[in-house]
Amino acid sequence: MMPLTLSYTSSSRALICLSFLVSSVPLNSSIRGVQSCRWLRGKNDTRRATRRKPLGIDHPRGAAQVIPVREDDDNEGEYRRLRGEVERHDELYYGDEPAPEISDQEYDGLVGRVMAMEMRHPEWVMASGKRGISESVGHAHSHLRSPLSPTQSNPSSQISSATLTRSRTTKFPQVQHSVPMLSLMNTYSIEDVEAFVKRVEKAAVSARDAVTELENSSTISFVAELKVDGVALALKWNDAGELQQAITRGNGSEGEDVTENVLAGAIQGLPSSITIGPAEVRGEVFISKRDFALLNQAAGELNSFSNPRNAAAGSLKLLDPNLVASRRLSFLAYDLMMARPVTGDSPQRSSSFDSPSSQAEALSILREQGFLPMPEWAVCHFCSDILEFVQKIKSSRANLPFEIDGIVVKVNERGTQRLMGSTSKFPRWAVAFKFAADFGTTRLSDIIFQVSRNGIITPVASLEPVAIGGARITRATLHNFAEIERLGLQSGDLVVVERSGDVIPKIIAVEGSVGDKTHSKIPNSCPVCNSTLEWDGNASGRTTLRCMNRLGCAAQAHGRLVHFASKAAMDISHVGPAVVSKLIDRGLVSEPADFYRLKEETLISHVEGFKEKSARRLVTSITSSRGTRPLWRFLVALGIPGIGQVASQQLATFVAKHWERFPTGLGEEPEWIENVQRMGPKTARAVFDFFSDRGVIQTIDSLLAVGVAPVLPSSHSNENITDVAEWNEGSRIYPENQSGSLRGLRIVISGEIGFGLTRKDIVVKVKELGGRVTDTVSKRTDFVVSNLDRDSAKLRRARELGIRVVTPEELQKLLGSA
Ligand SMILES: [Zn+2]
């Protein structure tokens, strides 16, 4: 019998193995600028740190510890405080509405410090009556025991995982994973990747003598692939090839059953059925960069998410499955376990639920089955190949359609994977190389307060310019007032700023405080209109400070006008924040309808910077939006709280039916709620309230009066939605039809199809099912339909690009199965 194959997940925030922490995190005191700060206070640390030179391939400040280590490593109170911090951050990270306050790297640093303290003082762990942090940290790992933990032999550590996860109440049933979903060991240096490669080679050589399976394979190869910053999910498909169950990673051995949400969620990159069932597919649920921007842009800041990962995690656990589809989730598969062999030549494999012979094979089968293909991956034979791949991805990272936080390197051959096995936490045959964030230290010159179109006051840090990771940084996000409180920020403080990938820079620590605590951090009145502010709760329960002067506040008016013309809404070119400011200053625009009253002459004579050509251009683009924009865009433009593009499309269907009496004739509240139930009762009520507002009714009336005539959705076309899909082309990730079996797929037809179907019939049919027929074969094509016996340029191109070719019969089946 073969040993059980443990699987893994590349989800973020895996535990750091203690030995790795102690031996391989480079010291970097320059960031903290405080000489007494040391990474770890073990007696060998300084020697280790100085011997280990930073790698050119990574940012030299790479794995810097950002929680300063002070003179209190022997302070038990400090130990307890930090332990509490770890637990708090776990809650924030793994909670039902995830809202982490610190980066993964910061978290890893914090955990590292606590673990180091536990090493020095195992008695503290005993005294606390809890398990050592090295064992219990992270809900995902809470049941797993560390072989390195100083508390492993401590009887008090025998606490069931149920105890550790008890605080998480959920409506989703808990389900046991067929094979544990382990984390990957995180590394931040290339040297650790090199060490990993050596370990694998050594293990394989020593195993080869004993085990026959490897006799034929004299080489070991690796697969390097992208580490998507998403949420791990296991999908079970039955023998009919239907998706049967979707389980979150949970604590690794047991996750939550989110099947209903996955089925309702129109998740891109998930085929409607597969031909290799029964099988289990694992991967990451994520939101592409573009979709995330759209989601936040359209949702408004009340409901906005701090990053795509949180948005994806929160979306999977929405209580209303219908709402999940509006979150634009995608799925990238990276693991496949099958019950029957691919070729049928290996009876051994068929019993192990593990049949692809290599990771490369698994990736190509997944692609053939219609899963979103891994955009970049490579089979590597030497360590240098891996380094080359890392370099390539680092330099092209910004062009990827989704956020990644590193590279995963796996042993390619599953036989070798099995031989190497796993520790209790990690597979020994894989490692995650995480991209380190860049840091810089600068002075906080001021905290400024921005007022959004909904009146929400957002604090922003104004910084003395500093170069971080090649960019000049002058602003950093502060999220909310609690964040200022947490950091104890004061103008003049020396602060550590983190910049990671495309994420907006953020302040993560105060390095030197000016100590002047007299200045109040929370404004008493609106910084723009000076009216009083009120606290209110937002979606995740955190309090928000808001300017209540909705109509009179210039900042809100400016925000609403900019939003109205924005790409997400009426999509009027040349009307950005600067132009809107000028128009407001000149008294030309105060409500959206005023845009349509602008005249070229007035612009030229009254507004600085406008000449004949620019004035005409502006007026033309405004005018052309008058009668051409679909109703859903008009609804987005009105800025209904909590309503993004997808919800607007649903809403448009209902509004269109009552268009004659719009906006006052949308029915009484109960009828309304009934009709727009798909949005969820809470949202439906908010929308009802919005349309009951006198100011809103007046805004709409004025717009209709100046001739704005939205295009109403026709009864059975997908025109409106396709519009979004085209706009969203760059990321390739948006369903044109939320429920169709061909959703989001791009299909190219080569030659005749037969079956009495004309090309036009097929185009229409495919569109109905949510797909699209395009003319040219490109990397984005999902499959090409062709009579294989006839050669064509399209077919040759498809073969070159490795794109799946289906026969007309297969297409017929796909179209017929709707
Ligand atoms: Zn105001």
Which residues 6+ apart lie within 8 Å of 1 measured at CB? none
Per-residue pLDDT band at 602 (split at 50, 70, 90): very high
Query: Using 50, 70 and 90 to split pLDDT, how confident is the model at 728?
Result: very low
Query: Mean pLDDT over residues 403-415, rounded?
Result: 90
User: 546 alpha carbon to ligand 1 midpoint, in Å?
Assistant: 8
Weakest mean pLDDT among 161-165, 230-234, 348-352, 426-430: 161-165
Written as six digits, the tokens of 772 are 């699209």
Rounded distance between C-alpha atoms, residue 303 and residue 458, angstroms: 14
Least confident among 60-69, 229-238, 783-792:
60-69
292 vs 705, higher pLDDT = 705
Whole-number pLDDT of residue 675: 65
Residue 291 tokens, joined: 């979709």
- Give the residue, 327 or 43, on which the prediction is more confident: 327
Rounded CA separation 660/666 (Å)? 10
Overall average pLDDT of the 803-812 stretch: 78
User: pLDDT at position 430, please?
Assistant: 94
| Residue of 285 and 792 predicted with greater confidence | 285
Type of residue found at 403: E
* Centroid of ligand 1 to alpha carbon of 110 (angstroms): 40
343: left (phi over 0), alpha (psi -120 to 50) or beta: alpha
Q: Which residues of 461-481 are buried (b: 16+ CB within 10 A; e: fewer)?
A: bebeebebbeeebeebbbbbb
The CB-based long-range contact list for 671-676 (8 Å cut-off, 24+ gap) reads 676/650, 676/651
Helices within 25-67 (DSSP H only): 29-32, 45-51
Residue 691 has φ and ψ, to the nearest 5°, of -75, -5
DSSP letter, residue 254: E
Residue 556 token pair: 């809100």
What is the reported pLDDT for 27?
Answer: 31
pLDDT tens readout for residues 369-405: 889 888 889 999 888 889 999 988 887 877 788 888 8
Residue 622 predicted with pLDDT over 90: yes
Q: Specify the amino acid at residue 118.
A: E
Most confident of the following: 400-409, 495-504, 533-542: 400-409
- The pLDDT of 472-490, averaged and rounded, is 82
Q: Name, in order, each residue with C-beta under 8 angstroms of 704's C-beta and a sequence gap of 6 or more.
A: none
Using CA atoms, how far residue 619 sits from 322, 605, 610, in Å, is: 40, 14, 11
Averaged pLDDT, 241-252: 90
Question: How much is the pLDDT for 128?
Answer: 65
Mean pLDDT on 475-494: 83
Tell me how many helices (H) and strands (E) the chain has. 31, 24
530 C-alpha to ligand 1 centroid (Å): 6
Q: State the Cα–Cα distance between residues 447 and 462, nearest whole angstrom.
A: 6
Residue 800 pLDDT > 50 = yes
DSSP 299-337: H-GGG--SSHHHHHHHHHT-S-HHHHGGG--EEEEEEEE
Among 470, 436, 574, 482, smallest CA distance to 108 is for: 436
Beta 772-774 vs 330-338: how paired, if at all? unpaired
| Cβ–Cβ < 8 Å for 542, 480 | yes
Give residue 51's pLDDT band: very low, low, confident or very high (50, 70, 90).
Answer: very low
Q: How far does the centroid of ligand 1 lie from the alpha carbon of residue 702, in Å?
A: 24
HEC secondary structure over 749-805: EECCCCCCCCHHHHHHHHHHCCCEEECCCCCCCCEEEECCCCCCHHHHHHHHHCCEE
740-816 folds as: Rossmann fold (3.40.50)
Domains 438-546 and 554-705 share a fold: no
The pLDDT assigned to 572 comes to 92
Residue 52: Cβ-neighbour burial (10 angstroms; 0-12, 13-18, 19+): middle
Q: In a 3-state reduction of DSSP, which class is residue 492?
A: coil
According to the model, what pLDDT value does residue 564 have?
A: 95
- Which pairing describes strands 254-256 and 174-176: parallel, antiparallel, or unpaired? antiparallel
> Would you please indicate which residues are annotated as catalytic (active-site) residues?
227
Q: Where are the alpha helices (DSSP H) in 317-427?
A: 321-324, 347-350, 359-368, 383-396, 414-420
Give Cα 369 distance to the centre of its chain.
24
Would the CA dihedral through 563, 569, 570, 575 be positive or negative?
positive
Pairing of strands 783-786, 746-750: parallel
Residue for token digits 């008493």?
524
Question: For the stretch 145-156, what's the b/e string if a residue is b when 16 or more beta carbons lie within 10 angstroms of its beta carbon?
Answer: bbebbbbeeeee
Separation of CA 547 and ligand 1 centre (Å): 5
Q: Which residues contact 716 (CB under 8 A, 6 or more apart)?
A: none
Q: Cα–Cα distances in Å, from 498 out to 400, 438, 475, 501?
A: 21, 6, 11, 10
**Is pLDDT larger for residue 545 or for residue 595?**
595
CA 791 to chain centre: 41
Closest Cα to residue 550, out of 524, 570, 532?
A: 532
Task: State the distance from the centre of ligand 1 to the C-alpha of 533, rounded, in angstroms.
Answer: 8
* Percent residues over pLDDT 70 in the chain: 69
Burial label for 93, CB within 10 Å (0-12, 13-18, 19+), is buried
pLDDT tens across 221-241, in order? Answer: 999 999 998 899 999 998 888
When pLDDT is averaged across residues 551-563 and rounded to a whole number, the result is: 90
Residue pointed to by tokens 């005249």: 599
* pLDDT above 90: residue 620: yes
pLDDT of residue 130: 62
Q: What are 151's two structure tokens?
A: 């508390």
Higher per-residue confidence, 392 vs 127: 392
Residue 704, CB half-sphere, CA atoms under 13 Å: how many? 14
Element (H, E) at 109: helix 104-120
pLDDT of residue 120 exceeding 70: yes
Closest CA to 262 of 192, 344, 172: 172
Arithmetic mean of pLDDT, 354-381: 88
More confident residue, 249 or 118: 249
Are residues 456 and 533 in contact, defined by beta-carbon separation less than 8 angstroms?
Answer: no
Please confirm whether the linkage preceding 663 is cis (ω < 30° from 0): yes
Instruction: Pull the structure tokens for residue 109.
Output: 């640093």
pLDDT by residue (tens digit) across 525-541? Answer: 999 999 988 887 554 44
Average pLDDT over residues 594-607: 94
Q: Which of 287, 139, 304 is nearest to 728 (CA)?
A: 287
| Interatomic CA distance for residues 223 and 360, integer angstroms | 7
Q: φ, ψ for residue 543 (rounded to 5)? A: -85, 150
Would the pLDDT of 559 be above 80? yes
| Average pLDDT of the residues in 170-178 | 81
- Compare 47 and 319 and report the one with higher pLDDT: 319
Phi and psi at residue 356, to the nearest 5°: -60, 145
Identify the architecture of domain 554-705 in CATH: Orthogonal Bundle (1.10)
Q: Would you say residue 216 has pLDDT above 70?
A: no
**Sign (positive or negative) of CA dihedral 475, 477, 481, 486:** negative
The number of C-alpha atoms within 13 Å of 284 and in the hemisphere containing its C-beta is 28
Domain extent listing, the chain: 7-170, 438-546, 554-705, 740-816
**How confident is the model at residue 461, as a pLDDT?**
92
- In this prediction, residue 203 has a pLDDT band, given cuts at 50, 70 and 90, of confident
Q: How many Å lie between the centroid of ligand 1 and the Cα of residue 527?
A: 7
Residue given tokens 């637990």 in the structure block: 87
Q: Enter the CATH code of domain 438-546.
A: 2.40.50.140
Ligand 1 centroid to Cα of residue 581, in Å, is 16
Mean residue pLDDT of the chain comes to 73
**So what's the pLDDT on residue 412?**
92
740 has pLDDT over 60: no
- pLDDT, tens digit, 9 for 90 and up, residues 413-461: 888 888 888 877 788 899 999 887 778 899 999 888 989 888 888 889 9
Higher pLDDT, 613 or 394: 613
Cα distance between residue 341 and residue 728, in whole Å: 39
Q: Are 130 and 53 in contact (CB under 8 A)?
A: no
Centre of ligand 1 to C-alpha 388, Å, is 53
Other Cβ atoms within 10 Å of 421 Cβ, number: 14
- Cα(457) to ligand 1 centroid in Å equals 9
Return the minimum-mean-pLDDT range out of 50-64, 243-257, 334-348.
50-64
The more confident residue out of 796 and 33 is: 796
Contacts of 150 (CB under 8 A, 6+ apart): 118, 119, 122, 125, 132, 134
* For residue 288, pLDDT beyond 80: yes
